[in-house]
Structure 1
Amino acid sequence: MGLNPKGRNWGSLVNWDDLGKFYAGFVVAWTVILYAAVAFLIINRNLAFIKIRNLPLAIAAVSFLHVYLVKIFLAYTTNGHFLCSAEFWIMSIYLPFGIALFQANLAQLRSISDQQRDLVYTRHGSFDGPASLSAAQQVRHRWSSLSGIQKSYVYIGTGMTVQLIITAALYATTPTLQGDWSSYGDVSHAKGQALCRKSLEWIPSAFWQLAWSWLYGPCLLFRVRNIHDVHYWRLQVIYSVISGLPGTPLWLAALYSTAFKPVNRWWVPPMWLAPGIVVMQFTTIFFPIYEIIKSRLQLRQTLAILESWEDRRGIIQSSNNADSSRASSDQPSITSSQQRDLYTMAALERALASNPNPLLKFAATRDFTAENILFLIQVQRWKEAYASALRANNILSESVQSQLFQSAVNIYISRVNDKTTEFPINIESRIRQDLDTVFGPAEPTTRLIPDEDMSYYEAESWTKSPKTTSTFHMGNSAHSGASVETLTAIQVLMSFPVDKHESMFPPHPGVAPLGESRAQMRAGFDEHVFDAAHRSIKYLVLTNTWQKFVKDQQPSIDIRISD
């Protein structure tokens, strides 16, 4: 059929030529691909790195943008038969709302990064009943207790509400948007449709698009400039913000400049927004999918390494004895088998026992899984305290048991219970239910509010911490004849001490208000109460965070075999 030589001419017939078919085919194919990908994400929504992205908000943003995308791709095909009033509402609501929701979703990156750092700083609020505060104080405390992303949601929601009110007012007071074109004189239907789309009432819509794309977007880009996550989230922000910048200026230029008239016949003015929208949708949906696929491949590789390592355990001793007879003062080169040893559970356990700070910093600043590392450290120290507690006739006194129980409640409140922590560890529902049964009755009932005067562990910025060398010793120290592999990595030390005798984790304020009856130990509380959760999280860390950490530090890792 070829092309309609007149292109989009606002005529009485639709443009079902080759270009019109291409536009229609593209939007249908993209819709199928996009929402098949959305369905895939929904199926995998329980993955930790998908949860932190706020999937419902991401899908809402993509859907709002997609409604507008469908409309503009069919603008050439419909040839002006789409009502001007309907296009006004879509242009003024769906597109700006979609961009606003999209920016809110991107702001999640900065919020997650800040909250992960707060986990490590262990700054807590204090518990206080709302009855002790005046109405104004309650509002102030509620606002100050909101996270950065929650405040962003309030700002963005307010802007969207104002925009909706202005759009409704413009539509109600503008006859031309309602189909009354008498102000244009005696014009044809096609001419009226064209003039309607150039009226000044469209300017607020352009303003909102410019505000979200040219003001909020670059501001967000500046705020996340120092975040270097492993989830491709910062890269998504960069691509999305930059791709959204040219659309609105080009749309306005095509709409009001006669120089664009030849182009407008085949590429209608609103379509200048389409490339940016497609990039936003692609990065929002397909970047997480790529991470899911990569994570699964990494898991397979990890399991293969662990299986290979288990097979090699039986011959390591004899190999080490043979090597010791011809050992020299020269350091041997790194072998692939030695590198594979870094990925094993033994390597992870040694790192957690000797110096967990580099791993904890990586988890908090790049993988956003600090809660898992903190849980492993806290449980291990709690178990050490339980094992070394004073006993009379091998029986713990009631006071010691009470202290251990309150320490365990602290771990439960700060790491497990999703009602009292922003980042609960990702464990199986059965394990969580068991912990809820033991510690749930001891959960505080009062509300947590920030307390600016409360003393807490002051930590200096990681960016100001000196670089040092952290050493992880690999091997079984019980066998003096066995070789010891020493992993040396240049790391940035964390701000808090590693000495297990120091108070690394201040008591959570949720422990303080426990009453006598609510603080009583439940059946099932013993030194093994966290074992199932500990194993689950340690395996999760081994197959995810630890693998990324080792790969990230490979250039600075040196392995030495010593007698």
Structure 2
Amino acid sequence: MGLNPNGRNWGSLVNWDDLGKFYAGFIVAWTVILYAGVAFLIVNRNLAFIKIRNQPLAVAAVSFLHVYLVKIFLAYTTNGHFLCSAEFWIMSIYLPFGIALFQANLAQLRSISDQQRDLVYTKHGSFDGQSSLSAAQRVRYRWSSLSGIQKSYVYVGTGMTVQLIITAALYATTPTLQGDWSSYGDVSHAKGQALCRKSPEWIPSAFWQLAWSWLYGPYLLFRVRNIHDVHYWRLQVIYSVISGLPGAPLWLAALYSTAFKPVNRRWVPPMWLAPGIVVMQFTTIFFPIYEIIKSRLQLRQTLAILESWEDRRGIRQSSNHADSSRASSDQPSITSSQQRELYTMASLERALADNPNPLLKFAATRDFTAENILFLMQVQRWKETYASALRANNTLSESAKSQLFHSAVDIYMSRVNDKTTDFPINIESRVRQDLDTIFGPAVPTGRLDPDEDMSYYEAESWIKSPKTTSTFHMDNSAHSGASVETLTAIQVLMSFPVENHESIFPPHPGVAPLGESRAKMRAGFDEHVFDAAQRSIKYLVLTNTWQKFVKEQQPSIDIRIAD
């Protein structure tokens, strides 16, 4: 292996030896791979689990870090032929800004988790007396109403501003950073370059790395310790924090300790930060890509299971009589047909109708898609109310139709309109435009305070220990005398305990009362107004959240059927 015996010696020639070529080749290859991944994410940016990660912020963080990574990987090859002042700005701006944006992106995990849980809590009461508050009180009120991620953005933005001011001040007041090395005495250009990079003005640039690795990182790990999402987000936090721990201490040690001098000839001091940065970039870009690929594979598997189940359903039905004659003597077994049945649309609809709490809990705490389940529940309840009113009088009175319109606007504001909800459902643009046309004019102007956002379903049964529980089966009359052994897989799945209370759909605070001009119903408002959106979200839930939920519950289902 051909190596420059002097290594990085700040000489007049670049190090284009085998090691220099390796460093250059690696960073070129990694750049191509990394931004190919970025392009793949941009193409798939409309996927729900990609949207919640705030990919523009993630790509910005990765790009800032990559500028610094390119510089340090080429430090050996360039052999000091890179201006100290330029390196100072890269080290002081691109590295801390990249870490700051990366922190903000990771902080979304906790914020999204909290907001999803809030979707299934009913927040009682809101404060409407802001006009009577002083300016300071209004500022405090607005600050307390910000979500966790919004507060994180404020903290990070403030830190970035402070860092920029400090960097500019240090550069303006430090002649050595501007190329004046007279304070070092009569030194050569190479010696001046080396001494410039050891000046104390570089220490603030390491502050963000130290703060991230040893202060904020462990704090974030503690905050997300109880989050067990299915998007590998928590795993990303763990890998990023652990990989970043050794970097800054080793960089400072290599910079100021003579014991590292032999190592520094081949592995320049900033390179100790490189492994942590590469891991940050890898987890930020390729964990979501892995989820996209896995999601597509699972979708194909689910569709294959559904097709197979439909093909065999006729055979299974024709053999039901023979199977029932053997049931009294044979032990129950977990059949593949029972497993296939769990993945069908009918099973999902039964879950939503009989006991949606387990699915809602999974969607809110693991998949972060509670808005889809809540939307389906709301639309189902709204349609039942519409049908009930229609059956009672054959035709809808103006009063009943007005109330139904108010309720429909309520659903639109809390689940569809991205201006009035933090988690709008992910439907086709054409379907959204149709709903916008019908309900958009009825939406009050302005954005609601987060504190006033109210849920449509109380799910305290999985938050607090229920005082009384009851078991819901899909058909109580049919199975009133059945033992556990006779239940099918879907019946077992739907027999999770749930608190015995009436579900509540309180009105969205921004929808009532509507003004006369806003309350005017548009053409196209009828009992089918939500059909297209409902079909779209049902299919989305069936092929994503539902199949994840079923797979997670499969061991418990198998055990309960076999017992």
Give the equivalent residue in structure 1 for 2:353: 353
Cα deviation for residue 160 of structure 1 reads: 0.9
Give the equivalent residue in structure 1 for 2:449: 449
SS at match of 1:221: helix
Cα deviations by residue, 1:223-282 (Å, 9 ceiling, x for unpaired): 001000000000000000111111000000011111111111100000000000000000
Larger CA deviation: 127-136 vs 379-388: 127-136
Aligned counterparts of 2:396 and 2:11: Cα–Cα separation in 1: 90
Task: Assess if the C-alpha contact under 8 Å between 1:476 and 1:482 holds in 2.
Answer: no
Task: Assess if the C-alpha contact under 8 Å between 1:227 and 1:234 holds in 2.
Answer: yes
Aligned counterparts of 2:467 and 2:350: Cα–Cα separation in 1: 21
Residues 1:460 and 1:496: Cα distance change in structure 2 (over 3 Å): farther
Cα deviations by residue, 1:188-232 (Å, 9 ceiling, x for unpaired): 000011111111111111223211221111111110010000000
Task: Assess if the C-alpha contact under 8 Å between 1:475 and 1:482 holds in 2.
Answer: no
Cα deviations by residue, 1:357-400 (Å, 9 ceiling, x for unpaired): 00000000000000000001111011111111266651111111
Tell me how many residue pairs correspond in the alignment.
563
Cα deviations by residue, 1:486-542 (Å, 9 ceiling, x for unpaired): 768999999999799935221110211311221122211111111111111001000
SS at match of 1:225: coil
Task: Assess if the C-alpha contact under 8 Å between 2:299 and 2:543 holds in 1.
Answer: yes
Residues 1:287 and 1:241: Cα distance change in structure 2 (over 3 Å): same
Give the equivalent residue in structure 2 for 1:41: 41
Cα deviation for residue 139 of structure 1 reads: 2.8
Aligned counterparts of 1:258 and 1:446: Cα–Cα separation in 2: 62
Residues 1:317 and 1:336: Cα distance change in structure 2 (over 3 Å): closer
Greater share of strand = 1
Aligned counterparts of 2:455 and 2:535: Cα–Cα separation in 1: 33
Task: Assess if the C-alpha contact under 8 Å between 1:471 and 1:486 holds in 2.
Answer: no
Residues 1:257 and 1:560: Cα distance change in structure 2 (over 3 Å): closer
Task: Assess if the C-alpha contact under 8 Å between 2:171 and 2:178 holds in 1.
Answer: yes
Aligned counterparts of 1:397 and 1:199: Cα–Cα separation in 2: 81
Task: Assess if the C-alpha contact under 8 Å between 2:487 and 2:561 holds in 1.
Answer: no
Cα deviations by residue, 1:41-98 (Å, 9 ceiling, x for unpaired): 0000000000000000000000000000000000000001111111111111111111
Give the equivalent residue in structure 1 for 2:428: 428
Cα deviation for residue 431 of structure 1 reads: 0.7
Cα deviation for residue 330 of structure 1 reads: 5.7
Give the equivalent residue in structure 2 for 1:196: 196
Identity across aligned pairs (percent)?
Answer: 92
Task: Assess if the C-alpha contact under 8 Å between 1:347 and 1:474 holds in 2.
Answer: no
Larger CA deviation: 254-263 vs 465-474: 465-474
Could you list the runs of 5+ residues in structure 1 that have no partner in the other structure?
none
Task: Assess if the C-alpha contact under 8 Å between 2:442 and 2:519 holds in 1.
Answer: yes
Cα deviations by residue, 1:275-332 (Å, 9 ceiling, x for unpaired): 0000000000000000000000011011111111111222222211111112126641
Aligned counterparts of 1:365 and 1:19: Cα–Cα separation in 2: 48
Task: Assess if the C-alpha contact under 8 Å between 1:27 and 1:70 holds in 2.
Answer: yes
Cα deviations by residue, 1:93-141 (Å, 9 ceiling, x for unpaired): 1111111110110001001000101111133775969867654444333
Task: Assess if the C-alpha contact under 8 Å between 2:452 and 2:509 holds in 1.
Answer: no
Residues 1:7 and 1:315: Cα distance change in structure 2 (over 3 Å): same
Cα deviation for residue 338 of structure 1 reads: 1.6
Larger CA deviation: 531-540 vs 208-217: 208-217
Larger CA deviation: 48-57 vs 113-122: 113-122
Larger CA deviation: 335-344 vs 359-368: 335-344
Aligned counterparts of 1:71 and 1:562: Cα–Cα separation in 2: 61
Task: Assess if the C-alpha contact under 8 Å between 2:113 and 2:368 holds in 1.
Answer: yes
Task: Assess if the C-alpha contact under 8 Å between 2:14 and 2:78 holds in 1.
Answer: yes
Aligned counterparts of 1:487 and 1:336: Cα–Cα separation in 2: 15
Aligned counterparts of 1:445 and 1:496: Cα–Cα separation in 2: 42
SS at match of 2:468: strand
Residues 1:17 and 1:351: Cα distance change in structure 2 (over 3 Å): same
Task: Assess if the C-alpha contact under 8 Å between 2:116 and 2:370 holds in 1.
Answer: yes
Larger CA deviation: 80-89 vs 356-365: 80-89
Aligned counterparts of 1:517 and 1:445: Cα–Cα separation in 2: 13
Give the equivalent residue in structure 2 for 1:292: 292
Cα deviation for residue 437 of structure 1 reads: 1.2
TM-score, with structure 1 as normaliser: 0.92
Residues 1:322 and 1:304: Cα distance change in structure 2 (over 3 Å): same
Residues 1:505 and 1:474: Cα distance change in structure 2 (over 3 Å): closer
Task: Assess if the C-alpha contact under 8 Å between 2:338 and 2:490 holds in 1.
Answer: no
Cα deviation for residue 336 of structure 1 reads: 2.3
Greater share of helix = 2
1:363 aligns with 2:363: yes
Task: Assess if the C-alpha contact under 8 Å between 1:8 and 1:266 holds in 2.
Answer: yes
Task: Assess if the C-alpha contact under 8 Å between 1:405 and 1:521 holds in 2.
Answer: yes
Residues 1:3 and 1:209: Cα distance change in structure 2 (over 3 Å): same
Give the equivalent residue in structure 2 for 1:398: 398
Residues 1:311 and 1:66: Cα distance change in structure 2 (over 3 Å): same
Give the equivalent residue in structure 1 for 2:248: 248
Larger CA deviation: 191-200 vs 331-340: 331-340
Cα deviation for residue 142 of structure 1 reads: 2.8
SS at match of 2:414: helix
Larger CA deviation: 297-306 vs 441-450: 441-450
Cα deviations by residue, 1:134-154 (Å, 9 ceiling, x for unpaired): 544443333222211010000
TM-score, with structure 2 as normaliser: 0.92
Give the equivalent residue in structure 1 for 2:142: 142
Aligned counterparts of 1:494 and 1:481: Cα–Cα separation in 2: 17
Residues 1:213 and 1:365: Cα distance change in structure 2 (over 3 Å): same
Task: Assess if the C-alpha contact under 8 Å between 1:343 and 1:550 holds in 2.
Answer: yes
Give the equivalent residue in structure 2 for 1:519: 519
Cα deviation for residue 183 of structure 1 reads: 0.6
SS at match of 2:497: coil
SS at match of 2:487: strand
Residues 1:393 and 1:165: Cα distance change in structure 2 (over 3 Å): closer
Aligned counterparts of 1:245 and 1:555: Cα–Cα separation in 2: 38
Task: Assess if the C-alpha contact under 8 Å between 1:41 and 1:289 holds in 2.
Answer: yes
SS at match of 2:503: coil
Larger CA deviation: 205-214 vs 270-279: 205-214
Residues 1:499 and 1:483: Cα distance change in structure 2 (over 3 Å): closer
Task: Assess if the C-alpha contact under 8 Å between 1:128 and 1:448 holds in 2.
Answer: no
Could you list the runs of 5+ residues in structure 2 that have no partner in the other structure?
none
Larger CA deviation: 463-472 vs 385-394: 463-472
Aligned counterparts of 1:514 and 1:486: Cα–Cα separation in 2: 52
Residues 1:450 and 1:532: Cα distance change in structure 2 (over 3 Å): closer
SS at match of 2:127: strand
Residues 1:181 and 1:350: Cα distance change in structure 2 (over 3 Å): same
Residues 1:129 and 1:492: Cα distance change in structure 2 (over 3 Å): farther
Task: Assess if the C-alpha contact under 8 Å between 2:243 and 2:276 holds in 1.
Answer: yes
Aligned counterparts of 1:250 and 1:467: Cα–Cα separation in 2: 56
Cα deviation for residue 482 of structure 1 reads: 14
Task: Assess if the C-alpha contact under 8 Å between 2:363 and 2:369 holds in 1.
Answer: yes
Cα deviation for residue 460 of structure 1 reads: 5.2
Aligned counterparts of 1:287 and 1:171: Cα–Cα separation in 2: 38
Residues 1:459 and 1:302: Cα distance change in structure 2 (over 3 Å): closer
Q: CA RMSD in A?
A: 3.5
Task: Assess if the C-alpha contact under 8 Å between 1:474 and 1:485 holds in 2.
Answer: no
Task: Assess if the C-alpha contact under 8 Å between 1:358 and 1:491 holds in 2.
Answer: no
Task: Assess if the C-alpha contact under 8 Å between 2:474 and 2:491 holds in 1.
Answer: no
Cα deviation for residue 475 of structure 1 reads: 8.4
Task: Assess if the C-alpha contact under 8 Å between 1:125 and 1:450 holds in 2.
Answer: no
Aligned counterparts of 2:163 and 2:144: Cα–Cα separation in 1: 26
Aligned counterparts of 1:313 and 1:458: Cα–Cα separation in 2: 37
Task: Assess if the C-alpha contact under 8 Å between 2:2 and 2:18 holds in 1.
Answer: yes
Aligned counterparts of 2:185 and 2:489: Cα–Cα separation in 1: 78
Residues 1:329 and 1:351: Cα distance change in structure 2 (over 3 Å): farther
Cα deviation for residue 466 of structure 1 reads: 6.0
SS at match of 1:424: coil
